Amino acid sequence: MSQNAAVSEPIVPENANEHCPGPESEMAGKADNCEGCPNKKICESAPKGPDPDLGEISEKLKHVRHKILVLSGKGGVGKSTFAAQLSFILSDDETKNVGLLDVDITGPSIPTVTGCADMIVHETASGWTPVYVRDNLAVMSIGFLLESSDKAVIWRGPRKNGMIKQFLKDVDWADLGDEETGAQGLDYLIVDTPPGTTDEHLSIATYLRESGIDGAVLITTPQEVALQDVRKEIDFCRKAKINIIGLVENMATFICPHCEHSNPIFKPTTGGAAALCSELNIPFLGSLPLDPRIGKSCDYGVPFVESHPESPAAQAYLEIVKEIQNRL
Amino acid sequence: MAGSTNFPGLEKVKHIVLVLSGKGGVGKSSVSVQLAVALKELGNKVGILDLDLCGPSIPRMLGVEKSKIHQASSGWVPVYITPDRNFSVMSIGFLLPDKNSSVVWRGPKKSAMIKQFLTDVYWGDLDYLIIDTPPGTSDEHLSVVENLQALKLDGAILVTTPQAVSLVDVRKELNFCHEVKLPVLGLVENMSGYVCTNCKECTNIFSSGGGKKLAEEFKLNFFGSVPIDPSLVEQLDISATGCDEFERYSKFIQQYKSSALYEIFTNFSISLQNSLN
């Protein structure tokens, strides 16, 4: 077990007192500076010290070469769609092994968009065996653990965190393709997240701190209401010390299938994602058009680039994925 | 259980309605805003409480993102959208130092903030308080339901888009309402079609009819299908620079009244009023 589990700086809440010892430190909630802090009670009751499970997670994920988070502040901008298509495209290269982990606990979409909604996950001696969508693409989601897709997962933060930890600790990714190709473990682990900047995001950042995250791909739509939430996500990445691989603008324009006229449905009233990228100095990875066939592919769980290779959206996807690979 | 004395600011609020959806980005906030606007134009006093702490959208949509909250002896005074003070809003957006700052909070802190919103905001006389929520079935939803159930919570309006992925999440939200014994007032299908500005041909970008089918399957009141209207996206998006907040609303309502959406939401509001009274 590693001795430096908590080397990086802790995330200090904004309204914390000056000289906050950090919510994860031994003194959290007990230090003199904690008197009067609105977070005192929460810090006091939280478990102290480096989490012993972190070492176990690192051990489990040591054969994962690249870990990429897919984040967005706003919901419904296409995180799961992008995460799924990214995984499909990466696994088109048969020499690469890809894992896709869905940490959206209360609204898992990955099973549907990867076409394995009816699958269940098996437990073996070495942990949970993920669902294989392709020989070299394994998927894990809470959706595989529910008896019925109608069932709601009504959990508060701590239970969601426990589940995420278990996903990282107990899913047996290493199984992928190791006999034939000799390749051990995963080349890429893509983590799809729920919208926002809360428990799931903090947990994944904390649990993967030791084993290292390559970075986050942020997704947005062009209108200001969505961009505002991306600003918050960027702020989160900076606070949590997660490298930002870049920003993808989704649903940029809609090409009418009848007359090919280009319609900006979510009009970029403030310059869209490109303007935000240059303002906040983060890489712009590209724009994806709003093509109804993408949504359809997701409903049926088929790889969009494979089913419509000639479409401009497919080309845009391939370019963005190449850009991401270049930046790793 | 909590009595009404625990929520003095809500004492004079007649109806409280939650806007929920399992999936994000289906238009909860824009439905909340349009519902509130339509109810207001029907002569009601309305308020919107934005419980999306990590991604508050309501202030921007109503052009009041630069407003701040004032503290009065009776509690936090919400931000007024119209000069007659019949339309008020509360959101965490008003409490943040600037638009780049994020709220990175775990569950317990979010729950505490929501409790504070419910206890400390002085809404005054309201016919309807619309509560906009973040996506999912987690801390925020449990907190608001637990706090308000003993008091008065008329029920929830579910918002969905027509595609399968979104409907899966709405089923979960229905299951949530059932588990916490929250009545479902009805279902709205948003983004159900887009009329090309060039050829006037309607394309079902996110498929169609899914919401209605779901409503039939679960015997829910179906409030209707709302088409995609890029001009609404734009209106909710443009910054309020150069005019004061009241002016922004009168401009907005002028334009909005001429759109097809206004009629849809007016009918929706009337049917909601009838079901609650």
What pLDDT does residue A6 have?
34
Under an 8 A CB cutoff, do B196 and A259 touch? yes
> Residue A109: closest CA among chain B residues belongs to which residue?
B165
User: What was the ipTM of the complex prediction?
Assistant: 0.86
Choose among B24, B198, B205: nearest Cβ to A75: B24
For an interface test with B, the pick among A72, A147, A154, A281 (most B C-beta atoms closer than 10 Å) comes out as A154
Domain of residue B177, CATH code: 3.40.50.300
CB contact under 8 A, A258 and B196: yes
Contacts of B173 in chain A (CB under 8 A): 152
Q: State residue A36's pLDDT score.
A: 81
Which residues of chain B neighbour A240 with C-beta distances below 8 Å?
104
Provide DSSP, A275-324: HHHHHHT--EEEE--B-HHHHHHHHHT--HHHHSTTSHHHHHHHHHHHHH
Q: What does the buried/exposed string (b/e) look like for A158-194 if buried means 16 or more CB atoms within 10 Å of the residue's CB? A: eebbebbbebbbebbbbbbbeeeeebebbbbbbbbbb
| Contact of A119 with A144, CB cutoff 8 Å | yes
Rounded to the nearest angstrom, the minimum Cα separation between A74 and chain B is: 6
Collapsing DSSP to helix, strand or coil, A123 comes out as strand
**What per-residue confidence (pLDDT) applies to A8?**
40
pLDDT at B152: 82
Widest Cα–Cα separation across chain B: 58
pLDDT tens digits, residue range B66-82?
Answer: 898 988 888 899 999 99
Q: Is the confidence at residue B1, as pLDDT, over 50?
A: no
pLDDT at position B135 is 92
A254 contact residues in B (CB cutoff 8 A)? 194, 203, 205
Instruction: Test A195 with B165 for CB contact under 8 angstroms.
Output: no
**Residue B54 in domain:** yes
Q: Which residues of B touch A204 (CB under 8 A)?
A: none
Spelled out in words, what is the top-level CATH class assigned to the domain A61-327?
alpha beta
HSE-up (13 A, CA, CB side) for residue B47? 28
Count of structural domains within chain B: 1
| pLDDT for res B101 | 87
In contact, A225 and A74? CB cutoff 8 Å: yes
Lowest mean pLDDT among A73-82, A180-189, B53-62, B112-121: A180-189
Question: 3-state DSSP call for residue A12?
Answer: coil
3-state secondary structure of A262: strand
Contact call for A239 and B61, based on CB within 8 A: no
Q: Do B104 and A42 touch (CB under 8 A)?
A: no
> For A135-164, how does the pLDDT look when each residue is reduced to its tens digit (9 = 90+)?
999 999 999 999 888 899 999 999 999 999
Cβ contact (<8 Å) for B230 and A267?
Answer: yes
- Strand pairing class (A215-220; A244-249): parallel
Cα A220 to chain centroid distance, Å, stands at 14
Instruction: Average the pLDDT over B126-138 and give the result.
Output: 95
Nearest Cα of chain A lies from the Cα of B61 at a distance, in angstroms, of 7
Identify each DSSP E strand in chain A by its residue range. Answer: 64-71, 98-102, 122-124, 127-129, 131-134, 137-140, 186-192, 215-220, 244-249, 254-255, 262-263, 284-287
Give chain A positions within 8 Å (CB) of B24. 74-77, 107, 194-195
**Is A76–B24 a contact, with Cβ atoms under 8 angstroms apart?**
yes
B243 is in an annotated binding site: no
Mean pLDDT for chain B overall: 90
Q: Do B99 and A231 touch (CB under 8 A)?
A: yes
Please report where in the chains the tokens 């995330």 appear, as a residue.
A11
Beta carbons within 8 Å of B91's beta carbon, 6+ residues apart: B48, B49, B50, B56, B58, B59
* Cα–Cα distance, B154 to B148 (Å, whole number): 10
The domain ranges of chain A are 25-51, 61-327
B6 is a domain residue: no
Residue B25 is assigned to a ligand binding site: yes
Residue A176: predicted pLDDT: 57
B199 in a known ligand binding site: yes
Q: Is the pLDDT of residue B32 over 80?
A: yes
Q: Is B27 annotated as a binding residue?
A: yes
Distance CA B170, CA A152 (A): 9
Q: Residue B185 belongs to what domain range?
A: 12-271
Task: Kindly identify which residue of chain A lies nearest to residue B204, measuring between CA atoms.
Answer: A292
3-state SS assignment for residue A150: coil
CB contact under 8 A, B100 and A235: yes
Contact A223, A268 (CB under 8 A): yes
Which residues, at least 6 apart from A160, have a Cβ–Cβ distance to it below 8 Å?
Answer: A105, A106, A199, A200, A203, B138
pLDDT at B240 over 60: no
Return the amino acid letter for B127: D
Tens digit of pLDDT for each residue in B248-265? Answer: 888 899 999 988 899 999
**Closest chain A residue to the Cα of B140, Cα to Cα:** A156
Answer whether residue B255 is part of any domain: yes
pLDDT average, residue stretch B13-32: 94
Name residue A171's beta-bridge partners: A128
Q: pLDDT (tens digit, 0 to 9) for every residue of chain A, 328 residues total?
A: 333 333 344 566 667 777 777 776 777 777 888 888 877 877 777 766 677 888 889 988 988 999 999 999 899 999 999 999 999 999 999 999 999 999 999 999 999 999 999 998 977 887 899 999 999 999 999 999 998 888 999 999 999 999 999 999 999 886 654 555 555 689 999 999 999 999 999 999 999 988 899 999 999 999 999 999 999 999 999 999 999 999 999 999 988 888 888 888 888 989 999 999 999 999 999 999 999 899 999 999 999 999 999 999 999 999 999 999 999 9
Q: What is the pLDDT of residues B189-239, one digit of tens each?
A: 999 888 888 887 888 888 778 889 999 999 999 998 999 988 888 888 876
Contact (CB, 8 A) for A88 and A306: yes
* Surface-to-core class of residue B244, CB atoms within 10 Å of its CB (0-12 exposed, 13-18 middle, 19+ buried): exposed
Contact residues on chain A for B233, CB-CB shorter than 8 A: 223, 265-267
**DSSP type of residue A154:** -
- Using an 8 Å CB-CB cutoff, list chain B residues near A74: 24-25, 55, 57
Residues of B in contact with A117 (CB under 8 A): 168
Is B277 among the domain residues? no
A152/B175 CB distance under 8 A: yes
Calculate mean pLDDT across residues B91-113: 91
Closest-CA residue to A153 (of B26, B28, B169, B107)? B169
Is residue B24 classed exposed, middle or buried when 0-12, 13-18 and 19+ CB atoms within 10 A define those classes? buried
CA distance A155 to chain B (A): 5
Question: Cβ B173–A152 below 8 Å, yes or no?
Answer: yes
Which chain A residue has its CA at the smallest distance from B201's CA?
A: A258
To the question of whether residue B224 is assigned a binding role by annotation, the answer is no
- pLDDT for the residue numbered A202: 94
